[in-house]
Structure 1
Amino acid sequence: MRRITRNLVLGILVVVVLLLALGALPSYLRSGDPYYLTATEAPSYEGPTVDVTDLSERRFPYTTEAIADGRSAAYYEGPTGFKEAFTHSPFDELNELDQRDGNAASGDGAVNGTTAYVTSGGTVYRVELVRGAH
């Protein structure tokens, strides 16, 4: 009975270590040029916007950083598509903004997968997904 218990505990530890590795490994996978979210003020824009005043920094790290600093941290795609299934990306954030307000999906340049017009603290920003070198 002791041998079975030891093997069971070792099996559980192996599974836990593999799950932890799957959670950490994708952030180290990089290929190609990085993607960034950039935010620029758009005072003359009068179309539909998504109100992001109360966005959580933990749930929307790329968007909140872009609004605060003008550009978010870099996001690199994985070489095989494996990373995208396990990590949060600026693409996810733009899709979420699109789902938050269906009206913002209409109009020229509104949420369309690469660009969104958002309102934060009464200021309108054009948040855009850009790909480029460091």
Structure 2
Amino acid sequence: MRPITRKFVYGLLASVLVLLALGAVPSLLGSGEPYYLTAEPTAESGPAYNLTAEGTDDLTRRRFEYFFSAVEGPANRSKPYRRGPVGVKESFTHSPFDELESFRSFAPANATTTDGVFVEFEGTRYRVRVAQN
């Protein structure tokens, strides 16, 4: 193999490894206090984002993984999420903030509050928001 071809192949392999690392490493990074998506059942009436209409297939569960872990988990809290130390992680990973914004963007206008949104799932109405403790 010619030296220039060998250098090109090594460079290509290095590029692929760097791209793989960018996809895997950010989810492992985290600093500071953890954030949780909370889903507290509420008796308040009014409009809400209807998650039941989307169904509970595997795609919906992966799209709203923090919501489902909050509904099914203890104390109505999702698994913890820690922000990245320099802000890079948020660009490459899924977070509770992403889910809250997704609910906000598809919910009726009256279903949102300053710190959360109302979501209806399987006949139960939840107040969903991001909390730090």
TM-score band, normalised by shorter chain:
0.7 to 0.9
Are positions 1:125 and 2:126 aligned together? yes
Q: Comparing both structures, which one devotes a greater share of its residues to helix?
A: 2
CA-CA distance at 1:127 after TM superposition: 1.4
Are positions 1:66 and 2:67 aligned together? no
Contact kept in structure 2, 1:35 and 1:130, CA below 8 Å: yes
Q: Which residue of 1 aligns with 2:36?
A: 36
Spell out, residue by residue over 1:30-70, the C-alpha distance to the aligned partner (whole angstroms, 9 max, x if none).
1111000111211x211210011225111111011112222
Q: Using the alignment, how far apart are the partners of 1:16 and 1:111 within structure 2? A: 44
**Secondary structure of the structure 2 residue equivalent to 1:6:** helix
Q: Using the alignment, how far apart are the partners of 1:64 and 1:115 within structure 2? A: 16
Q: Using the alignment, how far apart are the partners of 1:111 and 1:89 within structure 2? A: 20
Runs of 4+ in 1 over 6 A off after TM superposition: none
Spell out, residue by residue over 1:73-130, the C-alpha distance to the aligned partner (whole angstroms, 9 max, x if none).
10001111111111111101111111112x2x336xx254x41211111111111211
Q: Using the alignment, how far apart are the partners of 2:13 and 2:29 within structure 1? A: 24
Q: Using the alignment, how far apart are the partners of 2:10 and 2:61 within structure 1? A: 38
Q: Using the alignment, how far apart are the partners of 2:102 and 2:113 within structure 1? A: 10
Q: Using the alignment, how far apart are the partners of 2:117 and 2:131 within structure 1? A: 12
**Secondary structure of the structure 1 residue equivalent to 2:89:** helix
Q: Using the alignment, how far apart are the partners of 2:15 and 2:66 within structure 1? A: 31
Q: Using the alignment, how far apart are the partners of 1:34 and 1:130 within structure 2? A: 9
TM-score when scaled to structure 1?
A: 0.85
**Secondary structure of the structure 1 residue equivalent to 2:63:** coil
> Alignment length, in residue pairs?
126
Instruction: Write out aligned runs for 1:84-95 (5 A).
Output: 84-95=90-101
Could you tell me which runs of 5 or more consecutive residues in structure 1 were left unpaired when the two chains were aligned.
none
| 1:23 to 1:121, Cα distance in 2 relative to 1, 3 A | same
Q: Which deviates more from structure 2 when the two are superposed, residues 23-32 or residues 82-91?
A: 23-32
Measured on the aligned residues, the alpha-carbon RMSD in Å equals 1.7
